[in-house]
Amino acid sequence: MNAAPPYRGLGTLLRHLLELLDGDVEQAYRDLGLDYRPRFTPAVRALVEAEPRSIRELANHSGLTHSAASQTVAEMKRAGLVSLVTDRTDARARLVRLTPRCRAMLPKLQRQWAATNAAADGLDAELPASLRAAVTEAIAALEENPFRKRIEKCMERGRP
C-alpha cells in the first residue's frame, strides 16, 4: 500500500480516488480495443434505454449538470459515438443518438460494465463501510445543504 499523501484534504482525496478508479476503468476499455472513456457511460446507458434524448434529458437521467452533459456529448460526437439532430418540436434543442459505431461496441461495453460493477462490489466488501453508500449519502446531504452554505456557516462562526 502506498504512503498517504502529505496533504489529505477532502477534495484532494476524492480526486485521487477518482483518478485511481477512472484510470483503471479506462485502461480496461483500451485493453478491449475500445476508444471509450468512463465518463461516456451514463449517456450511453441512457441512450440504450431510450433515444433520441435531449442533452437536458441526458443530464437529468445521469444526475449531471447540463454543462457537464453537453461537454460529454461533444466529446462523444468527436469520438464518433453519437450524432446530433435538431428536435422537430423545438429547434433550439438538439437530440442525441448513438451511432452504428457505438452500437457495435455495446456487447463489449456491457460485459465491461458488469465486470466493473462486480469489481466495485468487491471493493465495497473489503471496506469497513460501503463506498457506494457513503458517496450516495454524501451527495444527498450536499443536495440538501450545499457545501458552499456549509463553508459560509463555518466562516460566520469564526472557523477556521
CATH classification (class only), 10-119: mainly alpha
pTM: 0.82
Distance CA 49, CA 129 (A): 31
**pLDDT tens digits, one per residue of 63-114:** 889 999 999 999 999 999 999 998 788 778 889 999 999 999 999 999 999 9
Locate the domains of the chain by residue range.
Answer: 10-119, 128-160
- Residue 88 has what pLDDT? 83
- Residue 157 has what pLDDT? 86
| pLDDT averaged over every residue in the chain | 92
Distance CA 27, CA 45 (A): 20
- What average pLDDT does this structure show over 35-63? 94
